[in-house]
Structure 1
Amino acid sequence: MPGLRIGVMHNTINSKYGPKPLIQADYLTGLAAGADSFWVADHLNSVLPSSMWKPKYVGAAKIIPKMDAHVEPWTMLGYLAGHNKLGRMTLGVAVTDTGRRNPAVTAQAAVTLHHLTRGRAILGIGTGEREGNEPYGVEWSKPVARFEEAMATIRALWDSGGELVSRESAYFPLHNATFALTPYKGKWPEIWIAAHGPRMIRAAGRYADGWFPGTTRASEYGKQLNDLRTAASDAGRDPMAITPAGIRFILTGRSQDEIDEIVDSELVRLFTLNSPATDWARHGAEHPMGADFKGVQDLVPQLIDEQTALSFVSKVPRELVKELFVVGMPDDIVDQLAEFRDNGLRCLVVGNMGALHPKLSKSAAATTPYVKVLRRLKKL
């Protein structure tokens, strides 16, 4: 069995030193650890309450003044493609949004990056979330329908051969539109779709070259992968041609005490607001936003003030934190992630969440065990 492909994830937030130093550090970390790919997020704002981004809760606030200050991902990847001559990591967005970004522009950005990287670009794409759409005037009532139309639009443009395209659509109609950019050496960028629910998994089976699930449980991963392959077969595609991927965020440290400190920190515990109410209920707790809350899809964290956020912290089940993240010393983390490999995962994208440690010095120190994890994962 071939080994896992490993990717490194970067959350594109501006620092008081500008956007380049942090992304450059993560990129070089990926290279040093032998990663195959480098990924950036696509957000206009954070998925955590900005009211809690203060030095008394998180050390990184000393160098990242505003946690909502996300930079534009395709611009950053273009910078990396043009300025880094070391290594040949594939570059991808995990994942961009079909709500606030017109699919023709997304198709253009992905193909441009594909040429700049000489065929090493991946278009990661999904529905997006309410917090990145509704506050900016994008209608949010039918995100999956909008996603399906966006995918059909991208494929129609790429398949047009530069000829004029007209296509009826409730969201993205084309009226004698042209897409004259050519694929790099005859190949378009791969499309990796973030899909969790049944309808999105069916869409991934129809359109995806790779798949990012929403689950953080290995057993559910295996079940959803079977559903995805069935959907691909039903669409007349080779189900084994879709790369089973996953994104997991790591909480590690130099000692168990450091790990416990970050697991019990306010910001990490508040990250569980992005979990749906069903995940909270499985751990015997009710989601603070209600029993029907869908999690990250519906969360608008900028509306949560500091006192309200602190009242939520005490309600978070510790086991839910350990389910949402991969927690432990390097050997423990590798063992946990091996379960996903055993359930079919073939490309693992990991992010270092040590940045959320209450102490900046310990946040920086978590990089060393994190790199150990990356190197050991390459041997799985």
Structure 2
Amino acid sequence: MGRFRVGVMDPLIAGRPTPEWYVRSEYLGALANRIDSFWVPDHLNQLYPRSLTTQKYCGATMLTPKMGAVMEPWTMLGHLAARNRLGRLRLGVGVTDAGRRNPAVTAQAAATLHLLTRGRAILGIGSGEREGNEPYGVDWSKPVARFEEAMVTIRALWDSGGELVNRDSPFFPLRDAVFDLPPYRGKWPEIWIGAHGPRMLRAAGRYGDAYFPAFPQRPVDYERRLDAVRTAASDAGRDPMSITPAVWLMVVTGRSRDDVDEALSSEAIKSMALIASDEVFARHGAQHPLGAGFTGAQDILPHTMDEQTALAHVAQVPVTLLHEIFLNGTPDEVVEQAVQWRDCGVRYMVLSNISPMQPSLRRGVTSLQHFNKITRKLNRL
């Protein structure tokens, strides 16, 4: 499967003194550290409670006053590509929503970026989350079925050679549709699929160039799911070993173990554990604050939680759960944890530094040097 490679995911939040300042700084840092790829998410708002993203709880708000001010990903990647012609980082969306965006528009955006970057675009895609659909009037029923139809639609348009495309579909029917954009040197962007459940794992094996789930899961869970993806690929007549085993993980790091533990105990960082499912909470002897059987990230609507409700929820998050779902510790400790993922099959690791969400702005900012040390060490694995 080749050497171990590393990417960096930026939260894509508008900040100061210019909206793109923090994003561009992180991009240049990734370039300086010889990272393979730079990623941005596709959200209309965040997956954690906005009531806890104030200066009282989150030091990063000194630089990004509104943590829910998420910018549009394809526009930002085009901006980065235009302003940074010396770098050769691959650029990815991690991951876009198959239902909220019409797949023809997604196919066009990815193909355009691929042409403009001379073959460096990656289309990360998944079934999406309730928070990016339901509040905006987008149908949230049957997200996996919509995802499967979106994948077939994108492939049909890309493979059409400019011929008219007609296809029946309960979600995205095509009627004399035209797609004339060419692939870059005969190749379309790679498709990296975020998948967790059995049906999505099968779809990743059928349609994906990479298996690209997010946390929360354990390395042993990843290994089992990767086997399911490869089995589905083989059943579909594809080479199972051609699928890149990737993962997106969040990092909490600092100068010492004490500093890291203090960051993990902060309300804003703990609130991100609410996207774990009740199954994950049960492993730590607890029930999810949002109720038995709660599915986690796919169904959470955190922006409706007021401060006291959010605080009551995060107070129920076990410390042991935080240690499971985040890579956490000093740089050496984080690298040791990352090696466990490599040993369970991961060959591409995309990391996000969420340490700046702790109350101390100073420690949040200095975490960047520790995070950079982690990426450099992982690049040498």
User: How would you bin the TM-score normalised by the shorter chain?
Assistant: over 0.9
- Counterpart AA for 1:156: A
Alignment of 1:10-159 (within 5 A): 10-159=10-159
Instruction: Output the CA distance in 1 between the equivalents of 2:2 and 2:195.
Output: 25
Q: Quote the residue 1:287 is aligned against.
A: 288
Are 1:166 and 2:157 matched, yes or no?
A: no
- How many residue pairs get matched? 380
- What's the CA shift for 1:216? 2.8
Are 1:216 and 2:217 matched, yes or no?
A: yes
Instruction: Output the CA distance in 2 between the equivalents of 1:54 and 1:3.
Output: 41
- Counterpart AA for 2:8: V
Alignment of 1:205-244 (within 5 A): 205-214=205-214, 215-244=216-245
Q: Answer with 207-216 or 238-247: which moved more.
A: 207-216
Q: Answer with 314-323 or 207-216: which moved more.
A: 207-216
Deviations 1:298-331 (A, max 9, x none): 0000111100011112111001111111011111
Alignment of 1:172-191 (within 5 A): 172-191=172-191
Are 1:342 and 2:347 matched, yes or no?
A: no
Instruction: Output the CA distance in 2 between the equivalents of 1:185 and 1:15.
Output: 37
- What's the CA shift for 1:260? 1.4
Instruction: Output the CA distance in 1 between the equivalents of 2:285 and 2:141.
Output: 30
Instruction: Output the CA distance in 1 between the equivalents of 2:286 and 2:88.
Output: 45
Say if 1:165 and 1:175, in contact at 8 Å, map to a contact too.
yes
- Counterpart AA for 1:265: S
Moved over 4 A (4+): none
Are 1:245 and 2:246 matched, yes or no?
A: yes
Instruction: Output the CA distance in 2 between the equivalents of 1:318 and 1:33.
Output: 32
CA RMSD, aligned part only?
1.0
Say if 1:4 and 1:378, in contact at 8 Å, map to a contact too.
yes
- Counterpart AA for 1:102: N
- What's the CA shift for 1:20? 1.4
Deviations 1:273-306 (A, max 9, x none): 1000000011000101111100000000011110
Instruction: Output the CA distance in 1 between the equivalents of 2:179 and 2:244.
Output: 27
Say if 2:125 and 2:192, in contact at 8 Å, map to a contact too.
yes
Q: Quote the residue 1:300 is aligned against.
A: 301
Say if 1:216 and 1:248, in contact at 8 Å, map to a contact too.
no
Say if 1:134 and 1:140, in contact at 8 Å, map to a contact too.
yes
- What's the CA shift for 1:45? 0.3
Instruction: Output the CA distance in 2 between the equivalents of 1:352 and 1:272.
Output: 15
The secondary structure found in structure 2 opposite 1:249 is strand
Deviations 1:56-75 (A, max 9, x none): 10111122121111100000
Instruction: Output the CA distance in 2 between the equivalents of 1:273 and 1:107.
Output: 32
Deviations 1:54-112 (A, max 9, x none): 10101111221211111000000000111102321100000000111000000000000
Say if 2:14 and 2:71, in contact at 8 Å, map to a contact too.
yes
TM-score by length of 2: 0.98
TM-score by length of 1: 0.98
Unaligned runs of 5+ in 2: none
Unaligned runs of 5+ in 1: none
Say if 1:36 and 1:89, in contact at 8 Å, map to a contact too.
yes
Q: Quote the residue 1:268 is aligned against.
A: 269
Deviations 1:340-368 (A, max 9, x none): 11111111101111121211111100011
Say if 2:103 and 2:154, in contact at 8 Å, map to a contact too.
yes
Say if 2:8 and 2:352, in contact at 8 Å, map to a contact too.
yes
